[in-house]
Amino acid sequence: MPRILPLFAASLAALGWAAPLQAQESETIVLDTVTIIGTGLPTEVRLNPASISVVEGEALRRSPPVSIARLLRDVPGVQVNEEGIERISIRGESSRRVAVLIDGQHLTDHTNYGQPVLVDPTTIERIEILRGSSSVVSGSRAIGGVINVITKKGAEKPLEVTATAGWMSATEGYRGSVSAAGTLDAGAGQFDYRLSYGRMDQGDRRTPNGVLRPSDVSDRNLSAHFGYRLDNHYFGLKAQRYDLAANVYVGQPDFLISLPHRDLRKYGLFYEGTNLTPWLDRLSADLYRQTIDRDFRNDVTATTPMGRMRVQSDSLDEQLTYGLNLRAEMAFTDNSRTVAGLEYEDDGLVANKTSLTTPPGAPFPRESLRRDDASIRTLSLFAQHEHELGNNLTATAGLRWYKVRADLHESVENGVANPTSDKSDSLLLGSAGLVWATDETLTLRGNISQGYVYPALGQLFLTTTGGGQTIIGNPDLDPERATTYELGARLDRGDTSVDATLFYTNARDYIATVLTGPIGTYENVDRAKSWGLELVAEHRLDSGLTPYASVVAMRRELEYANGYKTRDSGTPSLSGRIGLRQDWQWGEATGSLDVFLRGESAVEYRQADGMVASDAAGYGTLNMRGDVQFGNGLSLVAELNNLTDRSYAPYGQMPGAERSVNIFATYAF
C-alpha cells in the first residue's frame, strides 16, 4: 500500500479539523430543488408525491468523479451491479428494469443485463433519481425507477476552461477531462456553448486477497452543446461520442468474458418555449438519433464425460434509435396544472453472432453463424393533472397509453433463412398521488404508480449462445408490469432534514430463462413483491458537525412458476451509509471532512429449485472523504476507501478494493 495514504489522511484531517469552523451550506439532502421526473411538471422535491433524490451542485463537487454509478451508490434504494461495466438497480429490481435517460432521452438496451449509464461524470450538471414504478411519466423500463442525467450547458462568462485530473490507486488508473464553455451576446439573443473531452483508464483491481485478473475498464468521451436563446425561446443541439471497453472478472480461468467496445453516438435537437400564452407555460420538443455498437465475447472450456469441450462466441450488435418527445405544460386555472405529451421511438437492432464449438477430441471447431435484423416501434401518449384541493392539499393523477409493434425483419442461420415474425400490443397505465404540506417544514405524501417493461428484441426474437447454453427468443412474451404503493414524509427545518418512505411493489409477468438441458427460452413465469423503508436524515450542529444517515431496510419475495416462494432474492435486508461530516471555512477556502461507514447485510439468491445460486457475506467498510474549494477556481477532493483493508464483496459486484485512495483536482479559469 502506498506510504502516501497515512500522510494524506493526516494532512486532510488536520486541514479539516484545525481550520476555523464556520457554518457552510450543505446540499446532502436537497428538498427544495425543482425536478420534473416525478410528476412531469416542475415540482420541488419536498412537494413531489414520488420518491425523488437529486444529486447536484455541492454534492457533485464533493465526490470524486470516478463513474456515474459511484456517484449514486449512497442514494437510498440504489445498488451498483458490476459485470465488466457498472449498471444500476433500484429497490432490488434488475438493471434492465430501470429507465436510464440522458437529458430526458432514453438509452435503450436489448440484452438481458440492462443499460449502463454511458456518460462522462465530469460533464454532469445534476442527476435525478426516481425510486419505484413511474411509467406514466417516464415510459418503458421504469419498474425499479428512473435515472435522468442532465448534462452541462454553457458558462456564465464568454469563455471558461475547466480541467479535471484524478488518480485511483486500487486500479492504478486515471481520469482526465477538459472543457471550454461560455455565453455570448448574439444579435437579439444569446449563444451558449460547451465542448468537452475526457478519458479514463483503469487497470486490474487490487483487493486485500490479490489482483482480480482481468478486470480492467476504460472509456473516452467527446461531447458538444450549442444553444441559442431568443426572448422566451431556446434552441439547442447536443452531440456525444462515448466509447467504453471492459474485461469481466469471473474468477474462473476457463471462463472468459470480454466487452471490447460498447460505443454510443448520440445527436439531439432541443426546443423549449416558456410563457407562450396565458395558459401555455412551457412547450418543449426534442428529436434525437443514437447508435450503440456492442461487441460481446465469451470463451468457455468445460469438462464433460467425453473430455474437454470449448465454446467461443462473439456477438456484434448494431443498434440504431430515433426518438421524438413533445411535451406541453398548461395552467387552465389558478389552482391546477396539466402536462401532456407524446413520445415516439423507433429502435432497430442488427445482431451478428458467431459461435465456434470444439467437441472433445475434435481437431477443428464447428462454426455457426447467425444474423438477425429486428426493430421495435413505440408510440405513447400521456397526461398528468395536478389540482390544489385547499388547505395545502394537492392531488395528482395521470394516464399513459402506448402502442408498440416489434418485427423480426430477417433471420439467417448458416446461410439458411429462418421464419420471420412480428408482435403488437397496447397498454394503459395510471398513477395517482396526494401531498399535504402541513406547514413550511413538514410534508406528508401518498402515491400509487404503475410501471412496465416491454420485452427486449433479444428476448423476443434472437438466439444467444454463451456459457455453453443456447437461449431462444419468444415472440409471445408479454410486458412485465408492476404497481408501487408509497407513504412518505419530508421534514426540512434548516438544520434538520429527514426524508422517509414506506413502499410496497407488486410485480408480475417477470421474464425468466427456462432451460431444458443446454437449450432454453424466455417465459413470463415469475412474480416479485418488495417492501421496505428508505430513510435519509441529517442534523447540523452549531459547530458545523453534521451526523447523517442514508439507510434502507427492505425485503423482497420471489415467486417462481412452480409455486416456490423465497425471500432469498439477492437483495440485502439492510444497507446504507452513516457518518459524520464537518464543514469548514478558512479565509476564502471552504471544504468538508467526512468519515463514514458503508455496508450491507448478508445476501442469498435461491433459484426455483430452492438451491442457493449465489450469495455474499455482509460487510461494513470505514471510509473518509474530504474536499477543499480554494476560492480561486481550484478544488481538490479525495476519498480514502476501506481504511481497515477489509476483504469484502458486495452482492452483484466484484470483490471490493483494498485500502486505497481516489484523488481529483479541478481548476476552472
Chain segment 321-373, per-residue pLDDT in tens: 999 999 999 999 999 999 999 999 999 999 999 989 898 888 888 898 999 99
Lookup: cell for 374: 429486428
Is the pLDDT higher at 567 or at 59? Answer: 567
Is the pLDDT higher at 472 or at 269? Answer: 269
pTM: 0.91
In this prediction, residues 629-633 reach a mean pLDDT of 91
Q: What is the SS3 assignment for 45?
A: helix
Cβ burial 534-558 (10 Å sphere, 16+ → b, else e): bbbbbebeeebebebbbbbebebeb
For the chain, percent of residues with pLDDT exceeding 90: 76
pLDDT at 592: 93
For every residue of 252-297, DSSP letters joined together read -TTEEEEEEEEEEEEEEEEEEEES-SSSEEEEEEEEEEEEEEEEEE
Q: Which residues contact residue 197 at a Cβ distance below 8 angstroms, ignoring those fewer than 6 apart?
A: 177, 178, 179, 221, 222
Chain segment 240-255, per-residue pLDDT in tens: 999 999 999 988 888 8
Q: Counting Cβ atoms within 10 Å, is residue 232 exposed (0-12), middle (13-18) or buried (19+)? A: exposed
Q: Are 207 and 214 in contact (CB under 8 A)?
A: no
Q: Which of 251-255, 523-527, 615-619 has the lowest mean pLDDT?
A: 251-255
Confidence grade of residue 27 (pLDDT, cut at 50, 70, 90): very low
Confidence grade of residue 654 (pLDDT, cut at 50, 70, 90): very high
Q: What is the mean pLDDT of the chain?
A: 91
Lookup: cell for 60: 457533485
| Integer angstrom CA distances of residue 69 from 111, 224, 227 | 19, 23, 28
Cα gap 651→81, rounded to integer Å: 8
Residue with cell 402536462: 339
pLDDT at 389 > cutoff 90: yes
Cα gap 433→487, rounded to integer Å: 10
Highest-confidence range of 94-98, 199-203, 420-424, by mean pLDDT? 199-203
pLDDT at 484 > cutoff 80: yes
pLDDT at 516: 76
Q: What is the SS3 assignment for 415?
A: coil
Q: What is the SS3 assignment for 11?
A: helix
Query: What is the distance of C-alpha 438 from the center of its chain?
Result: 33
Chain segment 173-213, per-residue pLDDT in tens: 999 999 999 999 988 999 999 999 999 999 999 999 999 99
For the chain, percent of residues with pLDDT exceeding 70: 95
For every residue of 534-597, DSSP letters joined together read EEEEEE--TTSEEEEEEEEEEEEEEE-TTS-EES-BS--SEEEEEEEEEEEEETTEEEEEEEEE
For every residue of 491-517, DSSP letters joined together read EE-SSEEEEEEEEEEEEEEEEEEEEET
Assign 3-class secondary structure to 125-149: EEEEEEECCCHHHHCCCCCCEEEEE
In this prediction, residues 93-113 reach a mean pLDDT of 89
Q: Please name which of 150, 154, 151 lies closest in space to residue 226, comparing C-alpha atoms.
A: 154
Q: Which of 15-29, 377-391, 507-521 has the lowest mean pLDDT?
A: 15-29
Q: Which residues contact residue 4 at a Cβ distance below 8 angstroms, ignoring those fewer than 6 apart?
A: 661
In this prediction, residues 128-146 reach a mean pLDDT of 93
In this prediction, residues 371-381 reach a mean pLDDT of 96
pLDDT at 28 > cutoff 70: no
Cα gap 304→313, rounded to integer Å: 19
Q: Are 420 and 408 in contact (CB under 8 A)?
A: yes
CATH number of 4-668: 2.40.170.20
pLDDT at 530: 97
pLDDT at 9: 42
Confidence grade of residue 59 (pLDDT, cut at 50, 70, 90): confident
Domain ranges in the chain are 4-668
Lookup: cell for 452: 412496465
pLDDT at 549: 97
Chain segment 184-195, per-residue pLDDT in tens: 998 899 999 999
Confidence grade of residue 466 (pLDDT, cut at 50, 70, 90): low
Q: Which of 205-209, 221-225, 254-258 has the lowest mean pLDDT?
A: 254-258
Q: Which residues contact residue 238 at a Cβ distance below 8 angstroms, ignoring those fewer than 6 apart?
A: 103, 151, 223, 224, 225, 226, 266, 267, 268, 270
| CA angle 498–504–506, rounded 5-degree value | 155
Q: Are 269 and 288 in contact (CB under 8 A)?
A: yes
pLDDT at 56: 86
In this prediction, residues 77-100 reach a mean pLDDT of 90
pLDDT at 391: 87
pLDDT at 571: 93
Confidence grade of residue 663 (pLDDT, cut at 50, 70, 90): very high
Cα gap 581→584, rounded to integer Å: 10
pLDDT at 268 > cutoff 90: yes
In this prediction, residues 596-605 reach a mean pLDDT of 96
pLDDT at 361: 83
Q: What is the SS3 assignment for 169?
A: coil
Instruction: Count the alpha carbons within 13 Å of 338 in the hemisphere toward its beta carbon.
Output: 12
In this prediction, residues 30-59 reach a mean pLDDT of 88
Confidence grade of residue 5 (pLDDT, cut at 50, 70, 90): very low
In this prediction, residues 49-74 reach a mean pLDDT of 89
Q: What is the SS3 assignment for 172?
A: coil
pLDDT at 602 > cutoff 50: yes
